Chain A
């Protein structure tokens, strides 16, 4: 595996995909559609990348406002940008 497989923080991030949760969400939103098995994992991958971009953007916002803590405003501003980007 490539970069950042080692967890620097004390808490360990589990790398499993909550497949049941994803399927449940999709079913709730679009009950008339079906989701394939491996599509589940790709959705998880998409989520990972989205969350990663969001985190980096909020981190940058926090840096710019010279804050040591990520605040709600940072996240909000970041979300606007990233959601627009990942509109597809």
Chain B
């Protein structure tokens, strides 16, 4: 006791909190209520004395702040350490813990960091204290903030919770969050890291890096309604003059309008609002044309029904024919396409697809049929004169369709007359007029619409250059060549590659023939291929064919080539 008092008096030169506490403890020691704790108390006291003696030597530059902070931190630590021992937390025990666990050398926070953080930390400290009111001494009046800096390992969790609440408060109050992490940065790594995770600001991310902010994607709504309105308006404008004018002269002024409505030249040029929806434009126009054609075709194709039976393989078309028939039936036999259009819209997509397919098939037939009918050609010229058709595809129409029915002179005249209003109407209808008649006349209707798709290429209707598919097939490998080369290449070099590929294919086929013949077969099988690759040196004992297949072919082909066992005791492909 006396020594303690002496020590305290020695330290009186610096009246710090610690000394005060020590004094309190020493004096109050005898009044310990619990006896069984006396032993602990004495032990603690002994312990306390040793650290306190050590502290004597420690630099006395510590100011009140740090002492207080340390005290608080120590209190927490001590609390954790000795919590097992204490059944009851009294100020005495707390003090003892403080003194016990106080680190000899406190973590000195640089003044600069300490100063800017006073306000928030005052808040924090006060909060902390309020939350742990029962646990801590009431020393706030002496304490400036900077508790953060000191090692707070044990009550880390509590601290985090607090920090979170403080953080939220800070957010509400608009406190700069950077101060917190900054303050913690100098603290122990554990707590600082823990605190930082909570302190990660959600809001400033976008402020600091505007590029990361999520912006709602700007989408232009498809102006289908407006587009259809435009279509209706134009067709209305076209339909009305079209019906009245049956003379060639009258067709001239409307030709320009006709041309405007042609599917391939027009939608991209004439209709600016729908420019960026060219695809839906095409589908719309084609579908609508099909419908208009249907409505008009009914008149002209009536007499033809008996003449042309669907002798051709039209099983594919049968389904479509039915659909078109249904559509055709739904339309009254009027020449106004407006009503047709309205009915068309809901069925546009389906009809559009069918129209395309029919068009393609019809073209193949068109060449066959083009040979017949000089009359048809005459009429074609006439109709050509009427219309300023820039596309020979449409010129094919009259040729093909009238050629398809040479024996029906009267019907052809009717057809021509019927065609004229069609021609007066937007140009696509005539081309797709054949579409409508397809179910009724699969032969004739095939001719014109097909011509639409190639567009400019159909100007010279003749046998397609035979090299085309061969070149397109080779181009696939030429592209692969340029890809593997990874270097820019000259056009001459690419042509050279094509020649090489041709030679290669020749060699390949010869070899395969030899191998198959050697095996006494007339069919080239995968074994022949494997033998070829083995001879080429691609497949050897180290590298098997399966390995190469796995390396270079996509999954779907791998599945086909490499036999794999499946459930149910089955192997695919079967060996």
Partner of A51, one of B477, B492, B506, B535: B477
Q: Roughly how many angstroms separate A15 CA and B537 CA in the complex, as a whole number?
A: 24
A22 contacts which chain B residues (CB < 8 A)? 473
Name which of B503, B508, B525, B537 has the most chain A CB atoms within 10 A of its CB: B508
Partner of A17, one of B469, B487, B557: B557
Q: Roughly how many angstroms separate A51 CA and B532 CA in the complex, as a whole number?
A: 16
B561 contacts which chain A residues (CB < 8 A)? 38, 41-42
Contact A49 B538 (CB under 8 A): yes
B573 contacts which chain A residues (CB < 8 A)? 38
B496 lies within 8 A of chain A by Cβ: yes
Chain B nearest CB, measured from A19 CB (Å):
10
Chain A nearest CB, measured from B490 CB (Å):
6
Partner of B476, one of A18, A56, A86: A18
Contact A13 B480 (CB under 8 A): yes
A56 contacts which chain B residues (CB < 8 A)? 484-485
A72 lies within 8 A of chain B by Cβ: yes
Name which of B482, B497, B549 has the most chain A CB atoms within 10 A of its CB: B497
Contact mask for chain A residues 1-26; partner B; CB cutoff 8 A; 1 contact, 0 none: 11100011101011111100110111
Report how many residues on chain B are interfacial, defined by Cβ distance under 8 Å: 64
Contact A46 B532 (CB under 8 A): yes
Contact A86 B524 (CB under 8 A): no
Contact B508 A43 (CB under 8 A): yes
A79 contacts which chain B residues (CB < 8 A)? 496-497, 499-500, 503
Question: What is the chain B residue whose CB lies nearest that of A57?
Answer: B485
B553 lies within 8 A of chain A by Cβ: yes
Contact mask for chain B residues 560-575; partner A; CB cutoff 8 A; 1 contact, 0 none: 1100000000000100
Contact B486 A88 (CB under 8 A): no
Also in contact, A41 and B524, with CB within 8 A (given A2-B550, A49-B552, A83-B504): no
Also in contact, A69 and B488, with CB within 8 A (given A45-B548, A79-B496): yes
Contact B535 A72 (CB under 8 A): no
Segment from B3-11, B290-298, B511-519 that makes contact with A:
B511-519
Partner of B503, one of A43, A48, A83: A83
B553 contacts which chain A residues (CB < 8 A)? 15, 17, 41, 44-45, 48
Main secondary structure of the interface of A (DSSP, over half): helix
Contact B535 A88 (CB under 8 A): yes
Contact B549 A70 (CB under 8 A): no
Partner of A35, one of B523, B537, B549: B523
Also in contact, A26 and B490, with CB within 8 A (given A43-B529, A45-B552): no
Name which of A37, A41, A62, A82 has the most chain B CB atoms within 10 A of its CB: A41
With A13-B479, A18-B476 known, 11 other A-B pairs at CB within 8 A are: A11-B483, A15-B553, A26-B524, A34-B524, A38-B561, A41-B557, A44-B557, A45-B549, A59-B486, A83-B507, A86-B507
A58 contacts which chain B residues (CB < 8 A)? 485, 493
B80 lies within 8 A of chain A by Cβ: no
Also in contact, A25 and B473, with CB within 8 A (given A45-B552, A48-B480): yes
Contact A42 B529 (CB under 8 A): yes
A39 contacts which chain B residues (CB < 8 A)? 524-526, 528-529
Contact B506 A29 (CB under 8 A): yes
Also in contact, A49 and B548, with CB within 8 A (given A36-B525, A76-B496): yes
A66 lies within 8 A of chain B by Cβ: no
Contact B473 A54 (CB under 8 A): no
Contact mask for chain A residues 46-77; partner B; CB cutoff 8 A; 1 contact, 0 none: 11111110111011001000001111101110
A16 contacts which chain B residues (CB < 8 A)? 554
Contact B516 A33 (CB under 8 A): yes
Chain A nearest CB, measured from B89 CB (Å):
64
Chain A nearest CB, measured from B453 CB (Å):
20
Chain A nearest CB, measured from B476 CB (Å):
5
Contact A36 B523 (CB under 8 A): yes
Contact B493 A72 (CB under 8 A): yes
Question: What is the chain B residue whose CB lies nearest that of A14?
Answer: B476
Contact B485 A41 (CB under 8 A): no
A-B contact pairs, 14 of them (CB 8 A): A1-B550, A17-B553, A21-B472, A24-B469, A30-B512, A38-B526, A45-B548, A46-B508, A54-B500, A55-B481, A56-B484, A70-B490, A72-B490, A86-B507
Partner of A71, one of B486, B490, B504: B490
Contact A68 B560 (CB under 8 A): no
Q: Roughly how many angstroms separate A34 CA and B509 CA in the complex, as a whole number?
A: 11
Q: Roughly how many angstroms separate A55 CA and B524 CA in the complex, as a whole number?
A: 28
Question: What is the chain A residue whose CB lies nearest that of B562?
Answer: A38
A82 contacts which chain B residues (CB < 8 A)? 500
A17 contacts which chain B residues (CB < 8 A)? 553, 557
A74 contacts which chain B residues (CB < 8 A)? 493
Partner of B522, one of A8, A32, A41, A50: A32
Contact mask for chain B residues 376-388; partner A; CB cutoff 8 A; 1 contact, 0 none: 0000000000000
Contact A33 B484 (CB under 8 A): no
B276 lies within 8 A of chain A by Cβ: no
Also in contact, A46 and B483, with CB within 8 A (given A21-B473, A72-B490): no
Name which of A7, A29, A75 has the most chain B CB atoms within 10 A of its CB: A75
Question: What is the chain A residue whose CB lies nearest that of B558?
Answer: A1
B60 lies within 8 A of chain A by Cβ: no
Contact A34 B505 (CB under 8 A): no
Contact A46 B484 (CB under 8 A): no
B207 lies within 8 A of chain A by Cβ: no
Contact A75 B473 (CB under 8 A): no
Chain B nearest CB, measured from A40 CB (Å):
9
Q: Roughly how many angstroms separate A62 CA and B490 CA in the complex, as a whole number?
A: 12
